[in-house]
Structure 1
Amino acid sequence: MHARRLPDLVLPDLVLRDARIADHAEPVDIHLGNGLIRSIGSRSAAAPGAETLDCAGRVVIPGLIESHLHLDKALLDRERPNPDGSLAGAIAVTGELKRSFTAQAVRERARSVIEQAVTHGTTLIRAHPDVDPIIGLLALDVVLELREEYRDVVDLQVVAFPQEGVLRAEGTLGLLREALRRGADVVGGCTYNEADVADCRRQVDLVLDLAVEFGVPADLHADFADDTADPRFAMAEYIAGAVVRRGLQGRVALGHMTSLAGRPPSERREVLAALASAGVAVVPLPATDLHLNGRADQVNTRRGVAPVRELWESGVTCAYSSNNIRNAFTPYGNADLLDIGLLLAQTGHLTGPDDLARVLAMATTEAARVVGVADRYGLRPGAAADLVVLDTLNVHDVLLDRPVRTAVIKGGRVVARSTRSTELLFRTA
């Protein structure tokens, strides 16, 4: 079933009764109306004509945010898997598959993942369709169409993403410019996919110049390696300086950044301080990063995930995301951010209530900062009524339990429901 644009009708208010938004506090009522959270407080009479949803003490959180997702390349493992499991292998096999992409095939795969993400509580997706001489603007145009088709169900931010590089793939710069003219929300980059360090830096400059010219944020794939033995994977300092020179602080995000973990501690502290000072966000993508990194290690295989605790301590804004779903880059996944959050916690030595709360924030409030919607997002009056009711009674247990998404609410309207029934069929003496 695919989303259809709803007529512009006045929807009735919705009151979430007995919703738990914090442990060690009484449940509250959350009153939604006109697409916004009207109020949060103790039980009160519903407005005339309002609908009610009894949460019965269940946890309510803001809608989850997929801050980095490749819809156009999802589910390609059905056609051809990665031959050697490497990043180079993933780029190569996907480049070949792209030559036979059709708009309908991209649309069907993307719809499947969008709808799966929505049922798992996602209310905003920053999608990265490829823009390059192989596929042209086909994938971007499809995702722009889906942005309109699903606008009542999930917000789609569209990133024009040059997977094949900018200078290496002649004609890509013009395609990026045309993608922004057609309505792409964000300009992307793939800094390491150039011939040498000079061209990597030139790509950074070109992409950030487009961000300034079109007044859009930038979101770059960068430093995606085990270490910085190849200097093309040590762009963090240059990117931070280039952002400051253009006044783009707070408007640039970097995906992956796995080689940060391979740098000496003192050097890493300097790099993280530069990113924090420049307001550059970092988005680890643990499912992909774990799968593709450490391939050459014979003993003590490296995790290949950005050092999240150090990012926190340095003041770098962080989110995490699914990145790819069942393709050459990541051969698994269900577009479920709670699964990815637990994976990040397990691999990042993150534990206890405080750490788990911060990990959950990386898919909610911190992700909202990364994608630029923090001013209208959250669990507070005046914020967008984009919420998820979870089938657990404890906020602390959200990542540990990955509970059923009882209700997903977008713009004050329930857009997805899930139930699960379990029955224990034995008794002890």
Structure 2
Amino acid sequence: MNRTLVANARLAGRDGLHDIEIDGDRFGRIAPAGELAGETLVDARGGLVSPPFVEPHVHLDTALTAGEPRWNASGSLWEGIAVWSERKASLTREDVISRATEVLRWYAANGVLHVRSHVDVTDPGLVALDAMLEVRDRVADVIGLQLVAFPQEGICSFDDGPELLEEAARRGVDAIGAIPHFEDTREDGVRSLEIAFDVARRYGLLLDAHCDEIDDEQSRFVEVLATLARRGGLRDRATASHTTAMGSYNGAYSYKLQRILARSGINLVCNPLANLCLQGRFDGYPRRRGLTQVKEMLGAGVNVAFGHDDVMDPWFPLGTASSLQVALVGVAAAQLTGTAEIDEAFAMVTGRAARVLGLGDRYGVEPGRPASLVVLPASSPYDAVRRQTRPSHVIAHGRLVAETPPSTTRLTWPGESPEDIDFRRDRDRGRPSDA
């Protein structure tokens, strides 16, 4: 078995530099730099080595369709759904595979090696689903791709919605989705969650529902999802994505909800890039931020992760599949500006997001685990988020799959010699204190 090293690595929570042994497609020993023998695959040169980034929420079947067949002129969630319904009619297998694969290549280049993608199954032909199942197999040597059967236009409110969800489970998705706030009535919303939980239970699947993605303070399906997860035993195998209505809940209900969610064990996924743009579209001023209660839920012990949601589609026309960009926007939007909170934002696109996907011991730089990691030219998670450092190296299952050459800016300041600027703080390259 071929053994190589990632040398001179900085590991969060450990003093000094370390060498990391790669034994085939698994991590071997980890020891202080210079103590292990072997061929060097990558010299980290003191850079931060982290488990790969994890994308807990994206729609790859819709990616790269911004402007097709028309732009979302209002910028609202609802017009985005209408535009996608028009575009969906022209989907082909080749179209979906091409766009999804291109974005997954971007993810890999950015060090994102685990991705959960929702796939619209309100299509009687299930064209996108079959295409994405093929993509999942094609990229498996680099990216672990989870697929969620997502009923974009509802379960109870869409013709044959329950049957399509069941068929998606039979075809091999990893998780079952729902969109209760989009259903015609509250009763339909509750029933849709009951159907989704039943399918997930019978097929042994995870559950990830778009939940309360609306500015209506009366939309409270997350309490239903959490209660079903607790009583049915799904617990941390269930996720509520978006939950933007939390931005409109009153203090008394929010306090009650923290207890319900913490007791249930479910995960939350916040998508700051897309929801900052989509929510509050019907407001004058003051205009709501349209995000879940990130800081409060973290404080209550709920696992929260950050996701993209969209990459150049009818709901969000921008994006390069960079998890560090999502973390930076999340820091600003959720007001996570303490240095410890910024480190937490980094965890929300790494370890916390891995918990959403249920990766367990399939994730992490630890002996015996899959040898996948990123090397960041940074001194800490704080530094990586602040300077938006691109990974210098990305390793998937023991194989180097991406490299980014160093980028420098040469500044000639009046009266001084030319100097390279790397935007680090101070000459010692240390992180600032919390003061």
Q: Same fold (TM over 0.5)?
A: yes
Other-structure match for 1:6: none
1:162 partnered with 2:129:
no
1:117-136 → structure 2 map (5 Å cutoff): 117-133=107-123, 136=125
Q: Which segment drifts farther, 384-393 or 312-321?
A: 384-393
For 1:128, what is the secondary structure of its paired residue? Answer: strand
Look up the equivalent residue of 1:330 and give its one-letter code: F
Other-structure match for 1:15: 5
Q: Give a deviation string over 1:248-268, Cα, whole Å, max 9, x none.
A: 111100110011121111211
Indicate which of 384, 391, 402 corresponds to 1:416: 402
Note if contact 2:346-2:382 (Cα within 8 Å) is conserved in structure 1: no
Look up the equivalent residue of 1:285 and give its one-letter code: N
Note if contact 2:247-2:292 (Cα within 8 Å) is conserved in structure 1: yes
For 2:304, what is the secondary structure of its paired residue? Answer: coil
Q: Which segment drifts farther, 13-22 or 210-219?
A: 13-22
Q: How far apart in 2 are the matches of 1:167 and 1:427?
A: 65
Other-structure match for 1:405: 391
For 2:305, what is the secondary structure of its paired residue? Answer: coil
The 1:163–1:16 alpha-carbon spacing in structure 2 relative to 1, beyond 3 Å, is same
Q: How far apart in 2 are the matches of 1:45 and 1:379?
A: 18
Indicate which of 114, 118, 135 corresponds to 2:104: 114
1:263 partnered with 2:249:
yes
For 1:129, what is the secondary structure of its paired residue? Answer: strand
1:299-310 → structure 2 map (5 Å cutoff): 299-310=285-296
Other-structure match for 1:196: 185
For 1:53, what is the secondary structure of its paired residue? Answer: strand
The structural deviation recorded for 1:281 is: 0.6
The 1:370–1:23 alpha-carbon spacing in structure 2 relative to 1, beyond 3 Å, is closer
Other-structure match for 2:33: 43
Q: How far apart in 1 are the matches of 2:84 and 2:228?
A: 30
The structural deviation recorded for 1:213 is: 0.2
Q: How far apart in 2 are the matches of 1:298 and 1:53?
A: 53
Q: What are the ranges of 5 or more consecutive residues in structure 2 without an aligned counterpart?
A: 416-435
The structural deviation recorded for 1:58 is: 0.8
Other-structure match for 2:361: 375
Look up the equivalent residue of 1:156 and give its one-letter code: L
Task: State the aligned residue count.
Answer: 414
Other-structure match for 1:60: 49
Query: TM-score, with normalisation over the residues of structure 2?
Result: 0.92
Look up the equivalent residue of 1:166 and give its one-letter code: I
The structural deviation recorded for 1:227 is: 3.2
1:297 partnered with 2:283:
yes
The 1:197–1:423 alpha-carbon spacing in structure 2 relative to 1, beyond 3 Å, is closer
The structural deviation recorded for 1:423 is: 3.9
Look up the equivalent residue of 1:16 and give its one-letter code: V
Note if contact 2:215-2:245 (Cα within 8 Å) is conserved in structure 1: yes
Q: How far apart in 1 are the matches of 2:380 and 2:237?
A: 34
The structural deviation recorded for 1:374 is: 2.2
Q: How far apart in 2 are the matches of 1:75 and 1:396?
A: 31
Other-structure match for 1:363: 349
Q: How far apart in 2 are the matches of 1:69 and 1:371?
A: 13
The structural deviation recorded for 1:379 is: 2.4
Q: How far apart in 2 are the matches of 1:416 and 1:207?
A: 38
Q: How far apart in 2 are the matches of 1:139 and 1:290?
A: 27
Q: How far apart in 1 are the matches of 2:110 and 2:123?
A: 34
For 1:209, what is the secondary structure of its paired residue? Answer: helix
Note if contact 1:211-1:217 (Cα within 8 Å) is conserved in structure 2: yes
Indicate which of 381, 384, 387 corresponds to 2:370: 384
The 1:105–1:274 alpha-carbon spacing in structure 2 relative to 1, beyond 3 Å, is same
Identical amino acids, percent of aligned pairs: 34
Note if contact 2:183-2:189 (Cα within 8 Å) is conserved in structure 1: yes
Other-structure match for 2:198: 209
Q: Give a deviation string over 1:188-247, Cα, whole Å, max 9, x none.
A: 111112110000000000000011100011000001112324xxx210111111112211
Indicate which of 29, 44, 64 corresponds to 2:19: 29
Q: Give a deviation string over 1:30-80, Cα, whole Å, max 9, x none.
A: 1112322212211346555x4431111011111000011100001111422
Q: How far apart in 2 are the matches of 1:255 and 1:41?
A: 39
Note if contact 1:376-1:382 (Cα within 8 Å) is conserved in structure 2: no
1:287 partnered with 2:273:
yes
Q: Give a deviation string over 1:63-100, Cα, whole Å, max 9, x none.
A: 00001110000111142211311111011110111011
The structural deviation recorded for 1:13 is: 2.4
Q: How far apart in 1 are the matches of 2:51 and 2:77?
A: 34
For 1:326, what is the secondary structure of its paired residue? Answer: coil
Q: What are the ranges of 5 or more consecutive residues in structure 1 without an aligned counterpart?
A: 1-9
For 1:295, what is the secondary structure of its paired residue? Answer: coil
For 2:236, what is the secondary structure of its paired residue? Answer: coil
Q: Give a deviation string over 1:136-160, Cα, whole Å, max 9, x none.
A: 3111111111111111111101111
The 1:32–1:193 alpha-carbon spacing in structure 2 relative to 1, beyond 3 Å, is same
CA RMSD of aligned residues (A): 1.5
Q: How far apart in 1 are the matches of 2:33 and 2:139?
A: 33
